[in-house]
Structure 1
Amino acid sequence: MRHALIFAAGLGERMRPLTDHTPKPLLPVGGKPLIEWHLEKLAAIDVHYVVINTSHLAEQFPDTLGDGSRWGLRIRYAYEGPTPLETGGGMLNALSLLGPEPFIALSADIYSDYDYGALPLQPAGLAHLVMVPNPDWHASGDFVLHRDGLLGEDGAGERLTFGNIGVYRPEFLHGHAPGRFKLLPLYQQAMGAGQLGGERYDGFWRNLGNPAQLAELDTRLRAS
């Protein structure tokens, strides 16, 4: 049984004033909370256990989503405290709930038509990341995808943007102390060891950072 982690603990500062009273993952888009689109897609590929990390207005998540049974899921909540622990600290905080096998991890504040069932059950290295063409607001990209499927900070290949969708082995975080930290240094360490794989995805993908981007997606989903 595959497990999944959804990052939902951010403050949503660029989405204000919408996030003053509602966490960004619970904002409605296309007629349902943004995070619900992810839950439905995970349930469709037979993921039955989902951990959602929370911080800002954390009590609203169980009030809105419950235990996940309406989607055939079991949802557990990993509260980070009043200050989010960033991506690395949040993943480590949730690790004890995710079990010993590789798990899917994704950000709640994206939307895409990527099929989560296409993710490898067992990444070749420590993690496997979905990369997308660089959007206008991040033209320089994040990492280089090499022909052998490995990611690097430079070298021959195409520089792409991390789409905030991936599969991780628990060992990716082994030895790191709890606390507030980003995943970037761990990606860099894994790349240096040839242990970070990736793939390019050219389908629809959006990062929802502000009210205008949310409204644009809402219009698109309602039209379709």
Structure 2
Amino acid sequence: MQKAFVLGAGLGERLRPLTAQLPKPLIPVFHKPLITYAFDHLLEAGVKGFVVNTHHLPEQYGVAFPDGSYHGAPVAFREESPLRLETAGGIANVRDLLDEQPFIVYNGDILTNLPLQPLLQAHQEQGNLVTLVLRSSGPSLHVSWDEKTRLVTDIRNMLGTGREGEYLFTGIYACQPEIHQWLTPGKAESVIPIFLKMIQEGARLGAVVIDEGHWWDLGSRVAYLAAHQALHGMKSGAAPAIHPGAQVSEQASLKGLNVIGDRAVVEAGARLEDCILWPGATVAAEADLRRCIIRSGIRAEGQHTDMDL
């Protein structure tokens, strides 16, 4: 597939106040925007270009991608204003940018390295209108799937099948351009009712279960911190925890995993334990922080635990 639609218009309410400064897909993960992990993942699968919808703090995407590209691949942005169109409405709103070709939809607030080739193969071979990527374990098992037919049969028992769901929906799926026949341009609507209607009317809503690799939803500060810990512990490694452009005093005390961004400053006598400092953040002398996240331009002073500053 040549293009992917990466969802970037979410409000990130569970991550406030972090998302008061950046849209959730742009929050830094080991010194690079979260959404770029999605871009890297998709480029590896052969995608050649990206479409991203925006709504909350849309100007920040221009700051992050000033030339409208990422590693040579074009990135087209479309702002949803004044109304955020949600998932289905977002897809309908970028129809002209998807060239009437099959495309991948990818939630911009997830972090994963699951293999995408099984999705592409299943979508092509099974003749599905839409093919979801599922996992058999995770925090939200809401999708019911028939292993024999390879079709989704219900979501949260909304169709009354008596099944609440046994699989996690990863937020990644492949679509045929005919999906647009099921969508209403300009209507703010989730994709879930569309999927349910497809099931009811016999359209092929297929799925593939991919349990390989890792998958995180970075919708909360707990998940955001935990993903850094997990990435750092993986043998494949991540970027260095302390950016080369950071200034960390030799008289500062660092315990656990502290991810310190470019131009961040940790002054003498500061004590950090399992904290994340965004680019340009400052920790004042003698400050004592545990499991804190410090945004860009913020100077953290005093003693704090489990706080976003």
Counterpart of 1:196, as a letter, is L
In structure 1, the residue matched to 2:129 is 126
Q: How far apart, CA to CA, are the structure 1 residues paired with 2:146 and 2:94? A: 28
Q: Which runs of 5+ in 1 are unaligned?
A: none
Q: Which moved more, 1:88-97 or 1:75-84?
A: 75-84
- The residue that corresponds to 1:3 in the other structure is 3
CA distance in 2, matches of 1:46, 1:135: 27
Structure showing greater radius of gyration is 2
- For residue 213 of structure 1, what is the amino acid of its counterpart? A
Alignment match, 1:23: 23
Q: 1:221 aligned to 219, 231, 241, which one?
A: 231
Larger CA deviation: 32-41 vs 214-223: 214-223
- Identity over aligned pairs, percent: 32
Equivalent residue for 1:172, pick from 159, 166, 179: 179
List per-residue Cα deviations over 1:130-149 (Å, max 9, x = no partner). Answer: 0112423x24x233343221
Read off the aligned partner of 1:150 and give its amino acid letter. L
- Aligned-residue RMSD, C-alpha: 2.1
The answer to whether the 8 Å contact 1:15/1:210 transfers is: yes
CA distance in 1, matches of 2:170, 2:70: 28
Letter in 2 for 1:133: S
Q: Distance in 2 between matches of 1:144 and 1:116?
A: 19
Query: Cα deviations across residues 92-120 of structure 1 (Å, max 9, x unaligned)?
Result: 11111101111011101111111233322
Q: Where do 4+ consecutive residues of structure 1 move more than 4 Å? A: none
Unaligned 5+ residue runs, structure 2?
155-160, 238-309
Question: What's 2:192 paired with?
Answer: 184
Between the aligned partners of 2:205 and 2:106, the Cα distance in structure 1 is: 16
Deviations 1:38-64 (A, max 9, x none): 111222233111000100001111210
Bigger mean CA deviation after superposition, 65-74 or 31-40: 65-74
Report matched runs for 1:129-208 at 5 Å.
129-136=132-139, 138-139=140-141, 141-153=142-154, 154=161, 159-174=166-181, 176-178=183-185, 179-192=187-200, 193-203=202-212, 204-208=214-218
Q: Specify the code of the residue in structure 1 equivalent to 2:215.
A: W
Deviation, structure 1 residue 168 = 0.6
What amino acid is aligned across from residue 208 of structure 2 in structure 1? E
Q: 1:68 to 1:46 in 2, by over 3 A?
A: farther
TM-score by length of 1: 0.90
- Residue 130 of structure 1 contacts residue 166 of structure 1 at CA under 8 Å; is this kept in 2? yes
The alpha-carbon deviation at position 169 of structure 1 amounts to 1.1
Give the equivalent residue in structure 2 for 1:101. 101
Alignment of 1:209 onto 2:219: yes
Amino acid at match of 1:23: P
The residue identity in structure 2 corresponding to 1:168 is C
- Choose between structure 1 and 2: higher helix proportion: 1
In structure 2, the partner of 1:80 is 80
The count of corresponding residues between Structure 1 and Structure 2 is: 222
State whether residues 132 and 163 of structure 1, in contact with CA within 8 Å, keep that contact through their aligned partners in structure 2. yes
**Which structure is richer in relative contact order (CA contacts within 8 A, separation 6 or more)?**
1
Question: 1:176-220: CA deviations, max 9, x gaps?
Answer: 322201111110122231411101121311111111101111122
CA distance in structure 1 between the partners assigned to 2:114 and 2:203 by the alignment: 25
How far the C-alpha of 1:68 sits from its partner, in A, is: 4.9
- Which aligned pairs between 1:33-48 and structure 2 lie closer than 5 A? 33-48=33-48
